[in-house]
Amino acid sequence: MTKAKSTTASSPTAIATLSCIGCAVFALLFYLFAGIPEKIGGEWARPLWFRYGTYLLQSVAIALAAGLCLRNWSSPKIFSGRSVWLGLAIGSICWGVSNLIFGYFDIFTDDIPFPTVADWTFVTGYLFLAWGMAMSVMGRRLNLTLVQWLLVVSVSLVGLAIGAIVTLFPGSDTSGAELDLLRLAMSAVYALVDVWMLIVATILLMAFSGGKAAQSWRLLAGAGIAMFIGDLGFNFAIKSPEYATGSWIEWFWVLAFSLFGMAAALEFDISARTTPRRRG
């Protein structure tokens, strides 16, 4: 009887986790093998159906992450604190809406204006994601050694250097000084949030190597690292005139949200089988 009850309780978690894994794996295969860029009208572009597919896969991963994080936030039994998942849920929703707005301009217009409404909602989404990641370490006992803290500082400096290079690297287009300043400021916000998520991910990997929450926290750290790679890789790649929507670097976004969803699913399962410490 006990075994059957345990299997039934873990089934939703298994389904959610496998759905996130399946989304990430299918998206990787899709990005690598389905879209071959073609030169159309002097510009490199991928088939229209492929571009629809990329936004669909990203939306599926985002919806899974947002739904699972919202479920954690609504549960009074959640072990790690509801504020973590509220930030990640709102950030995922804002990111998803922004991505669809950006997709509209990408597919149905000849040129993507800057800034679009998507840029402002993207910034909002990133700030909520950063808040959610921050709450995963705030108020927790971090027994890091001096060497580990030095490693965190080193990762921070390397992340800041990469962010600065990507942000300040000149693109192929020329614009007015006001527009350039706005683009620089917005790119700096993106880079700083990404570096912050990288720092939190590093702390999570070192601080939570064991215990009940370790597995979900490592997945959360992996999501932060994937978002860092995807964002800065994309921001660097789009400065090339030969960049075409649907590059493999965009897969890291799907991976990031898939990992957010997996972390939420595992945390919910842990909390369902553990007497919770109520936080946030």
Instruction: Write out pLDDT tens, residues 265-274.
Output: 998 888 777 6
Would 6 be classed as within a structural domain?
no
For residue 135, how many other CB atoms are within 10 A of its CB?
22
Would 142 be classed as within a structural domain?
yes
CA-closest candidate to residue 58, choices 255, 230, 221, 235: 255
Residue-level pLDDT at 93: 95
pLDDT at 178 over 60: no
- Domain extent at residue 128: 12-272
Instruction: Write out pLDDT tens, residues 208-259.
Output: 766 666 788 889 999 999 999 999 888 888 877 777 777 889 999 999 999 9
Would 7 be classed as within a structural domain?
no
Would 93 be classed as within a structural domain?
yes
- To the nearest whole number, what is the mean pLDDT of the chain? 82
Q: What pLDDT band is residue 279 in, cutting at 50, 70 and 90?
A: very low
- Helices and strands, number each (H, E), in the chain: 8, 2
Would 279 be classed as within a structural domain?
no
Phi-psi region of 194 (alpha: psi -120 to 50; beta: other; left: phi over 0): alpha
Angstrom distance (rounded) from CA 138 to CA 67: 24
Q: How many domains does the chain have?
A: 1
Would 190 be classed as within a structural domain?
yes
Q: How far is CA 75 from CA 38, 44, 182, 187, 280, in A?
A: 48, 47, 40, 36, 12
Instruction: Write out pLDDT tens, residues 78-102.
Output: 877 788 899 999 999 999 999 999 8
